[in-house]
Amino acid sequence: MKHSRRKFLSDSGKIITGLGAASLVPAKSFSIFSGGSPNEKLVVGLIGCKGMGWSNLNQFLNVDNVECGALCDVDQNVLDERAAELEERTGKRAELYEDYRDLLENRDIDAVIIATPDHWHCLQTVHACQAGKDIFVEKPVAKDTAECEVMVDAARYHNRVVQVGQWQRSGQHWLDAIEYLQSGALGNIRVTKAWAYQGWMSSIPKQPDGDAPVGVNYDLWLGPAPERPFNPNRFHFNFRWYWDYAGGLMTDWGVHLVDIILFGMDVEAPNTVMATGGKYGYPDDAMETPDTLQAIYEFDDFSMIWEQAAGIDGGPYGRNHGVAFIGNNGTLVIDRGGWEVLSETETDEEGERRDIITGVATTRSDGEDLLNHVKNFIDCIKTREKPNCDIEIAGNTAIVCNLGNIAYRTGERLEWNHNRRRISNVARANRYLKTEYRDPWKFPEV
């Protein structure tokens, strides 16, 4: 049955949504790490059932002793479809919810998967922490710096395990490549590159505003985002290309790939960033975010270049996405398919040119990155250790990618003070560091 919006546990005292809702009591302890039978289940709830939410859930269901107890979506059409698919796969009917806050009241739910549009990640993650749930939240973790910071604070204060869906952090070939990088075999790394050239992204024709589809709670879909008439271009997958809800390819793909550079180079944030780009591929379509963008980040002793292009696949090194670490001895190139080393050459004693690096075979992915990421999260629920892509790691990466968008939107070379989480040289740019929430939604406090 579908549950209607109910009042939170009103006697617990702490307001968390601005709608009169109070913080939730912790969910029951997961029996596998609390001494219960090994046959007992980890029960998860899914918030946002379309796209990656459904992909994530299916990987959870591939792990022993995991079941789905609840589904939540503001689109009744999606909710009914997924409920039927889940019942067909598992033989069990999940509890159905329109409002995620109702799902969080369900004490039978141990952990939640949050796969809603980006503008919802912060509120839902903080509220899930307050409800005592562990959380697997989709990337990017948030739209801005302030949201990233409060999400980290909430996870730490409530002692929650929060894994973010940047699943390269659990992929074996990514880890092997970074181990090779950090061996020093490439020599000094002077330039790093990350890119997403996405040929599948076609133009989005402009469409008129209209009524939301039957079964869609559009006001709840908007949540803290600005009030606007319904437009099909802004709904479901394409929300990514509108500043109200997300940050385009820079944050959609960038957090995956920039994260690998930060990981591999063992750095947190740049000193400066500048960016250029625009709607060069599809200048007259409905997308707000740029279809073409280059951002250059300056670190202490290397630079990082981000490139994106919608509608074409002609990325660097013949790959439509990837990361490159360019060193004095050679370049390591990696994508979701595998990694290889492209050697520089030198002149030997006989005057012949030869490769500096030899004997490094091309390595292919085993295709298990997302499943490994889910397993790592579940292991950490048991051990209470930080997962491979903890909220603090992913929050930091989201901040770095958001800086690329801010540089593009302001047209300025930005100087970043990471300790203060402020742009130090362009005061007006700091307005992008915290989003104003639409009433009655309030920015969460911990």
Q: What confidence tens digit (pLDDT) does each residue in 194-243 have?
A: 999 999 999 999 999 999 999 999 999 999 999 999 999 999 999 999 99
Q: Percent of the chain at pLDDT above 70?
A: 91
**Are 104 and 189 in a shared domain?**
no
Per-residue pLDDT for 6 more than 90? no
- Say if residue 174 is in the same domain as residue 66: no
User: If pLDDT is split at 50, 70 and 90, which confidence band does 31 have?
Assistant: very low
pLDDT of residue 344 exceeding 60: yes
Q: Is the pLDDT score of 14 beyond 50?
A: no
Considering the domain architecture, whether residues 142 and 13 belong to the same structural domain is answered as yes
| Residue 163 CB partners (closer than 8 Å, separation 6+) | 135, 136, 137, 373, 376, 377, 380, 387, 388, 389, 390, 391
Residue 159 belongs to a domain: yes
Question: Residues 163, 175: one domain?
Answer: no
**Domain contains 119:** yes
Same domain (yes/no): 333, 321: yes
Q: What is the pLDDT of residues 291-309, one digit of tens each?
A: 999 999 999 999 999 999 9
Q: Is residue 384 part of a domain?
A: yes
Q: Are residues 174 and 155 in the same domain?
A: no
In a domain, 45, yes or no: yes
Residue 439 lies in a domain: no
Name the domain count of the chain: 2
pTM of the model: 0.92
**445 falls within a domain:** no
Q: Quick one: average pLDDT of 99-108?
A: 98
Determine the average pLDDT of the residues in 89-114.
Answer: 97
Residues 289 and 386 reside in one and the same domain: no
Pair 174, 105 in one domain: no
347 and 249 fall within a common domain: yes
Mean predicted confidence (pLDDT) in 363-378: 97
| Assigned domain for 288 exists | yes
At residue 4, φ and ψ (nearest 5 deg) are -85, 165
pLDDT at 39: 57
Q: What is the mean pLDDT of residues 273-292?
A: 97
Q: Residue 120 contacts by C-beta under 8 Å, 6 or more apart in sequence?
A: 48, 114, 223, 224
Measure the CA–CA gap between 131 and 267, rounded to whole angstroms: 33
Q: In terms of domains, do 269 and 416 share one? A: yes
Beta bridge partners of 216: 75
For tokens 């330039």, the residue is 191
Residue 443 in domain: no
Residue 10 is part of a domain; what is its CATH number? Answer: 3.40.50.720
pLDDT on residue 348: 87
Average pLDDT over residues 258-276: 98
Residues 307 and 329 grouped into a single domain:
yes
Asked if residue 174 and residue 163 are part of one domain, the reply reads no
* Residue 214 lies in domain: 170-365+396-433
Tell me the DSSP string of 390-445: BHHHHHHHHHHHHHHHHHHHHTS-EEEETTTTEESS-GGGGGGGSPPPPTT-----
3-state secondary structure of 116: coil
CATH number of the domain to which 189 belongs: 3.30.360.10
What is the enclosing helix (H) or strand (E) of 69? strand 66-72
